Amino acid sequence: LFVDAPLTEGASVPLDRAQANYLLNVMRLKTGDAVRIFDDRTGEWAARIESEGRRDARLVVATRLGPREAVPDLWLCVAPIKRARIDLVAEKASELGVARLVPVATRRTVIERLNPERLRAHMIEAAEQCGRTALPELVAEPVKLERLLADWPAGRALIFADETGGVPLAKAARPCPAAILIGPEGGFTPEERDAIRACPAAVGVSLGPRILRAETAALAAVAVWMAAAGD
Ligand code: SAM
């Protein structure tokens, strides 16, 4: 369970309604039962439930079980797409171990604004389900592609998913730090494609002969990358 407060031994942590309901009524846990929690800062801890009735509960933090996980330093840069689909990308990026999710505004991006709270909630739920003890960072506001390229950090590979052709992704996978860049449903414009290719860190990669939806391309690329180079 994710607890958004720095954890220390012996701390008493109040749970919100949803968390209390999940533990007491969905998981049917009761006072004294053990729970594994993480705060995305200090690592994973064992805690015990102290419940007051069926709706209120708190946790008493016991022992630290391990450090905050070290995930591969892989960013997923994706042009925002329709709500249900970007929610899927956020959820799967969390499961797959992405370190940072960067929404990118491109010429053909149709979704101008994101709901970072909703995306973060999907990432937390996915992390709890798959046992992560670190959450992906989420850049709340879409970054303009030009700005992203102009400020590209030295030493980070820019793996650009290019449906017009590129080296097979598995061949381009190399140890992090790296970023995978996925275009919007309408694709990158030719000018954008040229600007990306002009970035010294950029490697154009193919995800195969078929044109994938943006969310499929994002998740397939991250999965292939993690299998080939995720340390
Ligand atoms: N230009 C596409 C078309 O003709 O329909 C639209 C873009 S595609 C729906 C969305 C994004 O997914 C692309 O910008 C690219 O980043 C990625 N993508 C999709 N299929 C791909 C492939 N086979 N290889 C590499 N990238 C791909």
For the stretch 181-193, pLDDT in tens is 999 999 999 999 9
| Cβ(192) – ligand 1 distance below 6 Å | no
Say what the pLDDT of residue 73 is: 94
For the stretch 20-47, pLDDT in tens is 999 999 999 999 999 999 999 999 999 9
Sheet with 44-52, edge to edge strand ranges? 12-14, 56-66, 44-52, 34-38
Share the mean pLDDT of the chain.
93
> CA torsion, points 228, 69, 101, 230, in degrees to nearest 10?
-10
Would you say the C-alpha torsion 22, 28, 31, 36 has a positive or negative sign?
negative
Nearest CA residue ID for atom 10, ligand 1: 214
| Ligand 1 atom closest to Cα of residue 181 | 16
Give me the count of residues in the chain.
231
Which residue of 163, 210, 216 sits with most ligand 1 atoms within 8 Å of its CB, as the best mutation to test the pocket?
Answer: 163
In the chain, the largest separation of any two C-alpha atoms, in whole Å, equals: 62
For the stretch 63-112, pLDDT in tens is 999 999 988 999 999 998 888 889 999 999 999 999 999 999 999 988 77
Say what the pLDDT of residue 53 is: 77
Exposed, middle or buried: residue 134 (CB in 10 Å: 0-12, 13-18, 19+)?
Answer: buried
Percent of the chain with pLDDT over 70: 99
Say what the pLDDT of residue 115 is: 92
CA of 25 to the centre of ligand 1 (A): 44
CA of 186 to the centre of ligand 1 (A): 8
| Ligand 1 atom closest to Cα of residue 186 | 6
Helices 83-96, 214-229: crossing angle, 10 deg rounding: 10
CA of 119 to the centre of ligand 1 (A): 23
Say what the pLDDT of residue 47 is: 97
Which regions of 56-183 does DSSP assign to beta strands (E)?
56-66, 74-78, 100-105, 137-138, 143-144, 157-161, 167-168, 178-182
Say what the pLDDT of residue 62 is: 96
Say what the pLDDT of residue 119 is: 95
Nearest CA residue ID for atom 7, ligand 1: 187
Hey, what are 11's tokens? 């701390």
b/e map of 27-52 (b: 16 or more CB within 10 Å)? eebeeeeebebbbbeebbbebebbbe
Q: pTM to 2 decimals?
A: 0.92
Is residue 174 scored above 90 in pLDDT? no
Is residue 231 scored above 70 in pLDDT? no
CA of 77 to the centre of ligand 1 (A): 14
CA of 189 to the centre of ligand 1 (A): 12
Of 82, 84, 114, the residue nearest 101 (C-alpha)? 114
| Cβ(211) – ligand 1 distance below 6 Å | yes
**Which position has the token pair 């397939």?**
220
For the stretch 53-69, pLDDT in tens is 778 899 999 999 999 99
CA of 210 to the centre of ligand 1 (A): 8
